Amino acid sequence: MPKNLSPCRLALIGNPVAHSLSPLIHREFARQTGQAVTYEVRCVPLKCFVEGVQAFVDEGGVGFNVTIPFKEEAYRWVTRLTERARIAQAVNTVFLKDGLWWGDNTDGVGFVRDLAYVGISICNQRVLILGAGGAARGIISALLLENPKEIVIANRTFEKGEALAVYFQRMKGACSIRAVAISKNPLIADLIIHATSQELPLLAPKSCRGTGCYDLAYSTQETPFQKWAVQNGAANALNGLGMLVEQAAESFFIWTGVRPKDTRSMIARLLTMPSPQLKNNSM
């Protein structure tokens, strides 16, 4: 963006948002890339998403992130959807193009990029997803593009897991994707993704032996799931901090056309910070 234009005014809209790391991340991206960007947080009352967005737009907002509980509402609010937002049925990034509001979803690509950076390949691997809510839905299309051997969804409510599996089976070129019931028997996987809203999933502990484990919730400290997975023999256990930074980088790119290069040093810096109380996937 030329320096003589007013800054690109961005925000995070959600509830709660007070502990979000997103402002810090985007301000650092702006500094790194020399882009004139402002990024604020807007805590919007639960039934007032549209009003909250309108107020921000009236004040000059030209793009925003959306977090819990508004990702589905944002999906309905925008005029146009990118393919990945359409498939996820949720929007976490809103941008203006040719006078129209577009909705995108950068969660899946952020997740897959983080895995790639830490050297975890999904290609030909067996992936187990615990949970079948919005967090799970948000990453599955990006996972499918990496050609896993299979995706298994284990959810407390089996029917919800099954419905999600059926939904993604329709995606062109999809690998085997199916739902299983939660049971006391271990499930076999190379990568286990914790995508429920609970700290610990319903999963036989032995399932973790020798696997990679990834908690979609983020924290600058080890999460309870990470600790539990390592105690039960996981080969490694990560949380969603890397995904948070990578999805933010993708959003920043959408808004400014400039891709932040140094996401990994940002993650390293965040890891030295004390952890605020962060809820599941609340960007």
Q: Which two tokens stand for residue 7?
A: 């800054």
Confirm whether 149 is a catalytic residue: no
Catalytic one among 3, 71, 160, 227?
71
- Least separation, in Å, of the C-beta of 170 and ligand ATR? 20
Mask: binding to ligand ATR, 123-142, rule CB under 6 A, as x and -? Answer: --------xxxxx-------
Q: Is 33 in the site for ligand ATR (CB under 6 A)?
A: no
Closest to 135 in 3D by CA, of 121, 117, 153: 153
Strand ranges across the sheet with 80-81: 37-43, 8-14, 63-66, 93-97, 100-104, 80-81
- Least separation, in Å, of the C-beta of 173 and ligand ATR? 25
Beta pairing partners, 212: 191, 236
**Buried/exposed code over 173-184 (b: 16+ C-beta within 10 A; e: otherwise):** ebbebebbebee
Closest to 3 in 3D by CA, of 52, 28, 36: 36
- Least separation, in Å, of the C-beta of 280 and ligand ATR? 5
Q: Is 247 in the site for ligand ATR (CB under 6 A)?
A: no
In this complex, which beta carbon is closest to ligand ATR, that of residue 40 or of residue 199? 199
Q: Within 13 Å and on the Cβ side, how many CA atoms surround 243?
A: 27
Interface with ligand ATR (CB under 6 A), residue from 89, 198, 220, 275: 198
In this complex, which beta carbon is closest to ligand ATR, that of residue 266 or of residue 283? 283
Task: Give the residue numbers annotated as catalytic, written as ranges.
Answer: 71
> Interface residues with ligand ATR (CB under 6 A)?
131-135, 155-157, 160, 196-198, 202, 280-281
